Amino acid sequence: MVKTICGGCLSLLIFQGLATGADLRTITEQDRQECPQCFHEYVKYSYQVFLPAGMRIALKEYSPTFKIFGLDDYQDELRLELQPWATNLMCYSAVFRDFNGDGVFDAAVLGEYTESPSSNEPELNLGSGIAGKNSKKTAVLAILSQSSTTYMVTEVVRIGSGKKVSTYLGLSTPGRKSEVGSDGASAFESENYGISVTKGVGSTAYHWDNKQRRFREIVTGGM
């Protein structure tokens, strides 16, 4: 079964089949041994994200090799825990909302690209003081509207690479926030939605600051 959903031509999500009754807890090796048939993938589901033309062009200019992650890229255990759902404007590796407050939908995408010797992108420091070229880079990129048809791309956060993905995206609601690492003396009031990045058991939100022209890493609530 193929289900096609289109939300104002902002995104197109394609599902193959529909997984139901997914186990929402962590699957252990003992679980697999005791009941191997319980975790057999009889039905497989997936999605594919199609960006609007302007977003696609901006992303291609920023990085010709950028690939948005699909569910097949996720760790098996996490993929079993994730609810098999998506909406016209949200899935685990792409979310659409107005992040910079200009009234036009923006996007945040989670994926991977390759840095090449001819790339204009900043070099990836591998921790040894030597910049890595031709290396895989995992990041959350924001595609922000400059007009109704043109966009700019900025890196929200860089994530450690791995064979399988353990990070997924969501939305952070507007409101009063405190920056990560601050003593709480100064707060940031966000009028727009932000990008929630969940990795492991923790989530971090990033909200666009129009004055500083950057995404601020913040903690939600409590202020």
Distance (Å, whole) CA 97 – CA 161? 26
Q: Taking 50 as the threshold, does the pLDDT of residue 15 lie above it?
A: no
Distance (Å, whole) CA 156 – CA 206? 7
Mean pLDDT of the chain: 76
Sign of the dihedral through C-alpha 45, 50, 55, 60:
positive
Distance (Å, whole) CA 98 – CA 96? 7
Task: Identify the band that residue 100 occupies on the pLDDT scale cut at 50, 70 and 90.
Answer: very high
Q: What is the DSSP string of 97-153?
A: E-SSSSSS-EEEEEEEEE--TT--SPPEE-SSS-EESS-EEEEEEEEEESSSS-EEE
With tokens 């048939």, the residue in question is: 37
Distance (Å, whole) CA 71 – CA 91? 10
Contact (Cβ atoms closer than 8 angstroms) between residue 191 and residue 198: no
As a whole-number percent, the residues of the chain with pLDDT over 70 amount to 66
Global pTM reads: 0.73
With tokens 């913040």, the residue in question is: 218
Q: Taking 50 as the threshold, does the pLDDT of residue 204 lie above it?
A: yes
pLDDT at 88: 82
Distance (Å, whole) CA 203 – CA 110? 15
pLDDT digits (tens, 9 = 90+) for 26-84: 667 777 677 766 656 666 777 889 899 999 999 999 999 999 998 888 877 777 677 66
Mapped onto helix, strand or coil, the DSSP state of residue 53 is: helix
Q: Taking 50 as the threshold, does the pLDDT of residue 22 lie above it?
A: no
Quick one: which of 53, 55, 10, 208 has its CA closest to 146?
55
List residues bridging with 124 in a β-sheet: 132
List residues bridging with 217 in a β-sheet: 206
Distance (Å, whole) CA 161 – CA 138? 6
pLDDT digits (tens, 9 = 90+) for 149-192: 899 999 999 987 666 788 999 999 998 877 776 665 567 788 99
